[in-house]
Structure 1
Amino acid sequence: MPTVREAALDVMRRHDLTTVFANPGSTEVPFLAGLPEDIRFVLALHEGSVIGAATGYAIAREAPALALLHTTAGLGNAAGALSTARVNRAPLVVVVGQQDRRHLVQEPFLAGRLEQLAGDYPVRTETPPRAQDVPGAIARAAHAARTLRGPALVIVPMDDWAQPAEELPLPAPAQLRLPAAADTGDVGEVAALLDAASAPAMVVGAGADHPVTWEALTLLAERLGCPVWQESFGARAGFPQDHPLFAGHLPADRTRLREVLGAHDLVLSVGAPVFRQYPYEKGPLVRAGTRLAVVTDDPAEAQRAPVALAVVAELPAFCTALAQTAGKGEGGAARTPDAVRPVAERAVPPPPPAKGEPLRAAHVLAELARRLPEETVLVEETPSSRPDLHALVPARRPLGFLSAAMGALGFALPAAIGVRMGAPERPVVAVVGDGSSLYQIQALWTAVRYKVGVVFVVLANGRYAIMDRLADKHENTAPWPDFEEVSVSGMAKALGCSARRVTGHAQLLAELDALLPELPDSTRPLVLEVAVRAEETFQP
């Protein structure tokens, strides 16, 4: 009779969960000791890095990834990263260790009250009532992670792994199929809205980041001749941002949002909420006369949308059908790609700094944009420089851009590592602020240990620049100090990662020219800490 551990490993293999991201403790040793050779173990030095790397890995592979956490301390440390995984809709199976089942009632040392510790962010949390139920719980978690697109937790007491398994009927489907065809009635209704509009526009978001969806939305936008906006604070790009019809990123306040969308009588949101805001402002999202509709694969996103029509569907199939239908019916404004004209002026890179003038973030981003291969995945976590990054570095391929939709810091470094591990054929560059990098700086050790070739460009201004600008908006002084003494490159070297500090434009060009051509085949992570001046203004 196989053990529960052996049966669970078979379930993991069946669901392609053969890479384990972990920062283990004693409650996980019975599972980990003597892992079979076909199970790859990836150590991270903090649970935030565990979940961040697993999130990047899952997004890159478009399939669930496996993470292992250590009881209360591990799950508690990972809670913020789990919230990011949920909002980024990353499918994760997270096994959480627990004390020995036989004396849990006495609440022994390291026993955890785990079921609610991560709040409502897991899409499923299960504590198997018996050891023999653990393999089935892992299978159900894999299905939940894949279909609900978020982290699914299984809490396993440490003694369960050695118990005998049972030969029972499958405790969960070996395969779970969901309908992927588009409902013709829903397609027709959305197409009718577009055809009836005299000036339609689209807003795209992270849910549309798929090769089939990009192709369909490009065809649709070209036929309708309509501008396409990217959602504000989007985790991923939903449309080629170098296309003439790409209009830019939506502003995150209602005043500017009404102004931007005011010329359109219909705005269709695809794979994006309606609409993400940051500062609260009174008033409607759009002007009277502008109708809103949304197509999304997230039921909760549809249910809270203040729109005339909300459709829940698998986006690749729906958008393909919509592109074949809209703009062809009576009254549809058919246009060909040859008739497409740019709808927005493109950002002009800044001129090089004068001699003795400090670098700005825009200088760094402009030079990156000139050199990055089209297939690069750019992972972003630089809040004060994000507007410059969006303006200067367009996403040109699906998964060309990745950020933390939750807004919590500590995502980019481990996520970039996970993306490169999950999609080794894609070059990966992380652009992070120095303040952001400190939240999961220890992730660099994992990149070194497992030979993950990512370039980490750290924009170092020695302060929380975005917080300074927000304090300025309140016309008040900030109580937090600068931290110019911190050396990110020094910490990287202490973790075994190659690092260099750049202080001038000529040095920046030399470093990028040497690094980026080698990036596609690189197995050596490197930190490029670039000293930049803090910007005086910020507009989210």
Structure 2
Amino acid sequence: MSVREATFDVLRRAGLTTVFANPGSTEVTLLGGLPDDLRFVLGLHEGSVVGMATGWAMGHDAPALAVLHTTAGLGNAVGAIATARVNRVPLIVLVGQQDRRHLALEPFLAGHLAGLAGDYPVWADQPVRAQDVPGAVARAAHEAVTFRGPALVVVPMDDWDAPYEGEILAAPARLLRPPAQPGPGGGSGSEADPAPLAELLGGARAPVIVAGAGACGAWEPLVALAELLGCPVWQEPFGARAGFPQDHPLFAGVLAADRPGLRAALAGHDVVLAVGAPVFRQYAYTPGPLVEPGTTVALVTDDPSEAHRSPADLAYLADPAATCARLAALLPARLRGAAGDGPAARVRSAREAVPPVPADGRPLRSAHVLRELARRLPGDAVLVEEAPSARPDLHRLVPARNPLGFVSAAMGGLGFALPAAVGLRMALPDRPVVAVTGDGSALYGLHALWSAAHYRVGALFLVLSNSRYAVLDRLADRHGAKAPWPAFTEVDVSGLARSLGCRSLRVETHAELTAVLDEVVPALAVREEPLLVDVTVAVDHDYRP
């Protein structure tokens, strides 16, 4: 299948079988030899093309398709695109571009198209690869309907003939919206009820839930739904918050951030329901599908961008808490509570897998520190994480027992944990607040300690110090490359904290660690002075639980 043929399939599924256009040479590769089931309507000026598409969409109460010719065509149509936006009419606008292979040379008819229509499109995209074009067109259809306006996709002319075999379409096959979000013509639409989602879950042989940061306000109804289904619940990787109580018997752990690990975790399940999480966020690229063939993926989210880019079979754009409660009301109890024994046992086993405490004089590992913290941390504690090399240990050893029991920077940049912990403690003065960070991460946000000291913010800052960017060292080792960056053994985090007015302690042994935690953690809720505990930890290259 070519990109062109895959895009035609997307257009058919979206009901976009009438093509309004005033084509030029950059669009011939798309429109020449148009299939018989697609109707072509010629306009003699691009303003008329978009105007006709706007009228068609208003008359059908459905999105319409317009195709424009590079810079001149888009420029001629901007006024009509503005009208469609103000009229709240959904349009998908495809704009031709010169051949991708020599765009760097700015050939004849190449256009600087990004931003040419100003702010009038509700969404615009220039796909990075030819294979991303069908997904971009599918997403444009969802964006146009959700935000009721024109969505624009720029496509180089050679993209249409590129191969499209085995690609993942970055858009849901079907998108439902609740009655509170009316359709483009003002009506609620026929797909507003979550009944199709309930029918899918009700007929599942072995469902599974993936909870994300977007479900942090839906713990109670999501727990009720999971217990009703008797299914395991995974946490999305790299989430900003915990989407499900991680001490619950149905909690299965944190999903792998690579496709083979993801497929292995979800294997054996015929229906996967993601709640408040994209489908599915990954890190290092590996080829292959996200789930095994025959597995149906559904999504519930109130984030339109998350819904529009997720390759789900069925997406429901609605409040997760209200939707989970509604689904629980529609579904019969499955009475399969024993399904929770598997994930609970695996999680318990992982939490017990900690190496023996080293003899005095040998540095601790991050797992020792986090296990001792977990043993003392109260259930209402707020925990902010920014320790990349220790994150797997933290996930398995320190379960989030409230929606703020795990808070992280989902974007991946460093410098979040220390200032975020200060702000969280100021906002929640009666809650214990702990930041767990590596020393490399702490250096990006250490200046927040001055504010903590100046405003008497009683948070605990637990720094795991190995004097290096350990996660980068591991990645370099994995690629067989010599890391050119040195260790920063000269850095004294506890000394830097004191220079900023924040009390600090240096900890090197297990006995020192437990003594500090025994003294500090029980009084964290009423503490008025910040404290940084700088714990020396070993570089852990070989330990894998």
Tell me what 2:22 maps to.
Answer: none
Tell me what 1:253 maps to.
Answer: 258
Structure 1 residue 341: Cα displacement: 2.8
Contact persistence 2:224–2:328 (CA under 8 A): yes
1:458 and 2:463 equivalent? yes
C-alpha spacing 1:538/1:285, structure 2 compared with 1 (3 Å)? farther
In structure 2, stretches of 5+ residues that fail to align are 1-114, 123-146, 148-178, 183-187
Tell me what 1:281 maps to.
Answer: 286
Query: 1:179 and 1:310 mapped to 2: Cα distance?
Result: 16
2:204 to 191, 194, 197: 197
Tell me what 2:216 maps to.
Answer: 209
Tell me what 1:449 maps to.
Answer: 454
Moved more, 350-359 or 229-238: 350-359
Tell me what 1:400 maps to.
Answer: 405
Deviation track 1:337-375 (CA, whole Å, cap 9, x = no partner) reads x88535241221523223433200000000000000100
* Pairing of 1:384-463 with structure 2 (within 5 A): 384-463=389-468
Tell me what 2:80 maps to.
Answer: none
Structure 1 residue 537: Cα displacement: 5.0
Query: 1:273 and 1:533 mapped to 2: Cα distance?
Result: 35
Structure 1 residue 224: Cα displacement: 1.1
Query: 2:542 and 2:202 mapped to 1: Cα distance?
Result: 41
Tell me what 1:187 maps to.
Answer: 194
* Pairing of 1:347-386 with structure 2 (within 5 A): 347-350=351-354, 351-386=356-391
Query: 2:393 and 2:542 mapped to 1: Cα distance?
Result: 12
| Counterpart AA for 2:211 | V
Query: 1:374 and 1:504 mapped to 2: Cα distance?
Result: 26
C-alpha spacing 1:186/1:539, structure 2 compared with 1 (3 Å)? farther
Query: 1:469 and 1:448 mapped to 2: Cα distance?
Result: 35
Contact persistence 2:360–2:509 (CA under 8 A): no
Tell me what 1:133 maps to.
Answer: none
Query: 1:188 and 1:227 mapped to 2: Cα distance?
Result: 22
Contact persistence 2:367–2:393 (CA under 8 A): yes
Contact persistence 2:222–2:321 (CA under 8 A): no
Contact persistence 1:270–1:294 (CA under 8 A): yes
Local SS of the residue matching 2:501 = coil
TM-score, length of structure 1 as denominator length:
0.64
Tell me what 1:138 maps to.
Answer: none
**Any runs of at least 4 consecutive aligned residues in structure 1 with deviations exceeding 4 A, and if so which?**
178-185, 537-540
Query: 2:233 and 2:384 mapped to 1: Cα distance?
Result: 22
Query: 1:379 and 1:179 mapped to 2: Cα distance?
Result: 35
Tell me what 1:223 maps to.
Answer: 228
Query: 1:298 and 1:187 mapped to 2: Cα distance?
Result: 17
Local SS of the residue matching 1:341 = helix
1:343 and 2:347 equivalent? no
Query: 1:436 and 1:327 mapped to 2: Cα distance?
Result: 47
Deviation track 1:426-482 (CA, whole Å, cap 9, x = no partner) reads 110000000000001110000011111100000000000000000001111100000
Query: 1:513 and 1:239 mapped to 2: Cα distance?
Result: 28
Contact persistence 2:298–2:313 (CA under 8 A): yes
Query: 1:327 and 1:246 mapped to 2: Cα distance?
Result: 21
Query: 1:386 and 1:456 mapped to 2: Cα distance?
Result: 16
Deviation track 1:193-234 (CA, whole Å, cap 9, x = no partner) reads 111110000000000001xx1111111111211010000111
| Counterpart AA for 1:429 | V
| Counterpart AA for 1:392 | L
| Counterpart AA for 2:274 | S
Query: 2:399 and 2:258 mapped to 1: Cα distance?
Result: 22
Contact persistence 1:202–1:270 (CA under 8 A): yes
Tell me what 2:533 maps to.
Answer: 528
Contact persistence 1:387–1:539 (CA under 8 A): no
Structure 1 residue 191: Cα displacement: 1.2
Tell me what 2:488 maps to.
Answer: 483
* Pairing of 1:143-182 with structure 2 (within 5 A): none
Tell me what 1:167 maps to.
Answer: none
Contact persistence 1:227–1:247 (CA under 8 A): yes
C-alpha spacing 1:206/1:538, structure 2 compared with 1 (3 Å)? farther
1:300 and 2:302 equivalent? no
Tell me what 2:13 maps to.
Answer: none
Structure 1 residue 250: Cα displacement: 0.4
Tell me what 1:9 maps to.
Answer: none
| Counterpart AA for 1:498 | R
Contact persistence 1:327–1:334 (CA under 8 A): no
Query: 1:395 and 1:202 mapped to 2: Cα distance?
Result: 17
Structure 1 residue 321: Cα displacement: 1.3
Structure 1 residue 290: Cα displacement: 0.7
Query: 1:505 and 1:238 mapped to 2: Cα distance?
Result: 32
Structure 1 residue 319: Cα displacement: 1.4
C-alpha spacing 1:425/1:325, structure 2 compared with 1 (3 Å)? farther
Local SS of the residue matching 1:343 = helix
Structure 1 residue 493: Cα displacement: 0.2
* Pairing of 1:304-315 with structure 2 (within 5 A): 304-315=309-320
C-alpha spacing 1:422/1:508, structure 2 compared with 1 (3 Å)? same
| Counterpart AA for 1:252 | A
Query: 1:372 and 1:180 mapped to 2: Cα distance?
Result: 42
C-alpha spacing 1:278/1:340, structure 2 compared with 1 (3 Å)? closer
